[in-house]
Amino acid sequence: MWKTVWNYILLYALGAWYLLKELISSHKKPSGILNQSGRVAIVTGGGRGIGLETVQQFLELDMTVVIGGRNVPELEKAVSKVRGSNKDLGKVICLDLDLSSLTSVRRFAEAFKALRLPLHVLVNNAGVMFWPQEVTEDGFEYHWCVNHLGHFLLTHLLWPVLKASSTPDKPARVVNLSSSTHYIGSINFEDINSKIYYNAQAAYNQSKLAQVMFTKELDERIRAAGENIIVNAVHPGVVATELFQHVAWAHYFPWLVRAFLKTPRQGSDTVVHVALSQLALDGGHYYENCTKTPPAAAVRKPSDLRHLWEISCQQCKIVDFGGL
């Protein structure tokens, strides 16, 4: 019981601090972005919220965007709605992807490769927040699989395409969407699937910390291998999206969401900046409001980074991640 209470206290204290921080800080928009015509991006969960706004910004820059999501007709309908009559810029391809199924992740990667397109930007955006306890078909806790493990596997499977598409002047990039809640998260290496004790907030925080730790460890391995790919993590801000469907106060007081939280468009700005800006050309960082920000202390523990990497590879049945 006390664990649950403490998790709520930490979460709401952090949330209050970030709401205040964002209210008193000016919002920064993407900058330093060159011509993106002819370039290709993948956005997971690109049919709503931050993902859809990221897709729209990429299309406005004349990129080809491949969206991965669980309902292709709904993805197509959402993109058609945001594009309106402006169908001249960019191109969209929608493919089926369910990140709670590692089999689906593999199918998506094969479907993308069958398109024979390059891949310049991979945005690991899709996620769930405060999900009721559920185990995936592969036996993993739902947050863990959707937010971290599915994207870990997807990045591995697409690594050869990213590597082949990268050039010295325009390196390929991977953007992992994390959250400020990673600061209060911890990796429970003894019970990573939350079988002994389940708390939706703690499970979410753990998955978002894992994304930042994955980012840091992947960057270290990229550097060691001398490869030319940039990977960074992003906190998009406290954004009014459908992720808040399981947050009690947002359900009962929707006007608070509209009044104080960032819009999805604002939330996509840091994603787009990190994905495309010439001012974000080094990797292994965590960004908030288009600005490099020190991550949680847990991200600076090399032994934990390696341990998480090894567990993730084992769970995804990866022998050699991307050949790194």
Longest dimension (CA), the chain: 56
User: How is the beta sheet containing 121-124 ordered, strand by strand?
Assistant: 91-96, 64-69, 40-44, 121-124, 172-177, 229-235, 286-288, 291-292
Contact assessment for residue 99 and residue 176, using Cβ atoms and an 8 Å cutoff: no
* Spatial distance between the Cα atoms of 184 and 186, rounded to a whole number of angstroms: 7
Separation CA 289–CA 50 (nearest Å): 14
How many angstroms separate the first and last alpha carbons of the chain? Answer: 43
Closest of 62, 70, 274, 41 to residue 158, by C-alpha: 41
Distance (Å, rounded) from C-alpha 231 to C-alpha 270? Answer: 14
User: How far apart are the C-alpha atoms of 29 and 290, rounded to whole Å?
Assistant: 7
145 close to 316: Cβ distance less than 8 angstroms:
no
**Active-site residues: which are they?**
204
Distance, in Å, from the CA atom of 78 to the CA atom of 47, rounded to the nearest integer, reads 6
